[in-house]
Amino acid sequence: MLRDDLAPWQGLNVTAFLMSGVVAQSPAIIGEPYRDAAGNVYNPLSVQPVVVLSADQETLGTIHRRALERAVTTSAYVEEMFATGHDAANREVFSRFSPDNAKLVGIALRADKKIVDKITRGARMHA
């Protein structure tokens, strides 16, 4: 889920970072390498579709709390991470916030569809 007021470059950037966290948690979702007719090899891709939703700040906070209540591990990106330049700085700025005061711009999760549907209630398809 992405916050609904992000610039296009921010949404794409956050989506890529969040997806990398989902893949790190569940590496089995990555398939085999792709090969074209000329024999060139390309990176493997996810074997499952990725659904990108959007929501306002308040709804993202609610989704975050629901995921925590159900012990569903998430990838999360806070607004302040846009001002950092590397992974260590991202971790440091992220550690300053709790679920009660984090200005989430994105959150990603992978779980059983019924659970995901309950957690993400209130979000809508990203336009």
Digit-coded pLDDT (tens) for 2-23: 999 999 999 999 999 999 999 9
**pLDDT of 127 above 90:** no
Question: The domain spanning residue 59 has which CATH number?
Answer: 3.40.1490.10
Tokens of 59: 């709804």
Residue with tokens 């971790």: 91
Report residue 87: phi and psi, to 5°. -60, -45
Residues 23 and 15: beta-carbon distance below 8 Å: no
Structural domain for 62, as ranges: 2-125
Name the domain count of the chain. Answer: 1
Q: Is 76 exposed, middle or buried (0-12, 13-18, 19+ CB in 10 A)?
A: buried
Grouping H, G, I as helix, E, B as strand and the rest as coil, residue 107 is strand
Q: Name the nearest CA neighbour of 74 among 119, 118, 125, 27.
A: 119
Tokens of 127: 């336009």
Q: What is the DSSP string of 71-109?
A: T--EEEEEGGGGG--SHHHHHHHHTT--TTT--EEEEEE
Which of the 8 DSSP states describes residue 9? H
**pLDDT of 25 above 90:** yes
Per-residue model confidence (pLDDT) at position 6: 97
Tokens of 121: 């209630």
pLDDT tens digits for range 66-91: 999 999 999 999 999 999 989 999 99
Question: What is the amino acid identity at position 44?
Answer: P
pLDDT tens digits for range 28-60: 999 999 999 999 999 999 999 999 999 999 999
Residues 30 and 7: beta-carbon distance below 8 Å: no
